[in-house]
Amino acid sequence: MCRVWGVSYGPKGPEGEPTGPVELAQSMFPNLVHLGPDAWGWMSFSAEQGIEVNKHVGRCDTPKAARAMKGIDPDALWVVGHTRKATHGDPANLLNDHPIRHGNIVGVHNGVIRNYREILKITGRDKEGTEVDSEAIFAAVHRWGNVEGLRRVQGDMVACYVDLRKPRTLQLARSSGRTVFVSRTPNGSLLFASEEQALERSGWEITEPSPVSKDRLLYIRRGEITKRRTYRFDWRKSVARPTPTRASSLFNEGGSEDPGPAVRALREGRVPGHIKPEVDLDEVQRMAERALASRKFLAAKHAHHN
């Protein structure tokens, strides 16, 4: 278990908010230490300093940690923090602590990735000696891009990352099994955190925190969500479903060569392309025919008894 938090300052930058990046970090990190006592770190961006990454072993709610947070750039346009509960990799090895870099992607992750070995077998690790499963997220995005990369990742995930070539825009992604909430300030900044209570304890005036939906990717720049993407689809919801009284209209009870709208949708590509190789269209048709045959038999039996 880990926790993440972050801020993307609005048009006025840190000067538009009650506290700057250092004071905000000193407030937010202790709010999330209870599920991240093994290590902590942050990444930030400012026009002058660019992207900076800093990580530490141990708890983030100590006087020593508070002093270390004074190293955050006071002019940062965004800051992302992470508290770590180690599941893969010794936290004493800073390569295993967040933020983690792979190629041009650097970010933080809360969750557990099930297929990280398969992804890293293809991409390799960025640095020898790294052991964490989280790297697979950033490796996948670096190799295949935002949407296709995230689609390949299987597991529980809230991840926030940035492409070093486009450092002003944060990407915030959620799959399942973990939560992340976003809220806004009157001056146009955006705050996010793994826990709703952490945002409410930030000391800032904010809107009511809203949860990010499952399988969503948000692009965040200067306090605005500039784009939203759904990167994984449930193909079953994209195909018309029969109602109890109109099964024949879906699966073509009449017996013509038209296979019905469900099978047509699959054949015409109106479901995500990545699932089509796993779909046996003939079996879909056979299942439809068996279901209708069973429906006819039960209807006839009912009519006979009446």
User: Quick one: tokens of 88?
Assistant: 């893969």
Q: Would the pTM of this model clear 0.85, i.e. be above it? A: no
User: Quick one: tokens of 23?
Assistant: 């004071």
DSSP summary character for residue 146: H
Question: Digits of tens for pLDDT over the chain (306 positions)?
Answer: 789 999 999 999 999 999 999 999 999 999 999 888 999 999 999 999 999 999 999 999 999 999 999 999 999 999 999 999 888 788 899 999 999 999 999 999 999 999 999 999 999 999 989 999 999 999 999 999 999 999 999 999 999 999 999 999 999 999 988 999 999 999 999 999 999 999 999 999 999 999 999 999 999 999 999 999 999 865 444 444 444 434 444 444 444 455 566 555 555 555 544 444 444 555 556 666 777 777 777 777 667 666
Name the amino acid, one letter, at 120.
L
> What pLDDT is recorded for position 276?
42
Report pLDDT digits (tens) over 32-59: 998 889 999 999 999 999 999 999 999 9
> What pLDDT is recorded for position 291?
74
**Residues 105, 164: Cα–Cα separation, whole Å:** 6
For the chain, domain boundaries: 3-230, 235-305
- Asked if residues 135 and 125 have their Cβ atoms less than 8 Å apart, the reply is yes
Q: Are strands 158-163 and 170-174 parallel, antiparallel or unpaired?
A: antiparallel
* Domain topology for 3-230: Glutamine Phosphoribosylpyrophosphate, subunit 1, domain 1 (3.60.20)
- Asked if residues 81 and 25 have their Cβ atoms less than 8 Å apart, the reply is yes
- Asked if residues 123 and 102 have their Cβ atoms less than 8 Å apart, the reply is yes
DSSP helix/strand/coil, 301: helix
Compute φ and ψ for 105, nearest 5 degrees.
-110, 130
* 219 Cβ contact partners less than 8 Å away, ≥ 6 residues apart: 169, 170, 171, 225, 226, 227, 228, 229
**Residues 249, 175: Cα–Cα separation, whole Å:** 35
Report CA-CA distances (Å) from 36 to 19, 98, 140, 147, 205.
24, 11, 25, 28, 26
Element of type H or E holding 173 = strand 170-174
> What pLDDT is recorded for position 267?
54
- Terminal C-alpha separation, the chain: 61
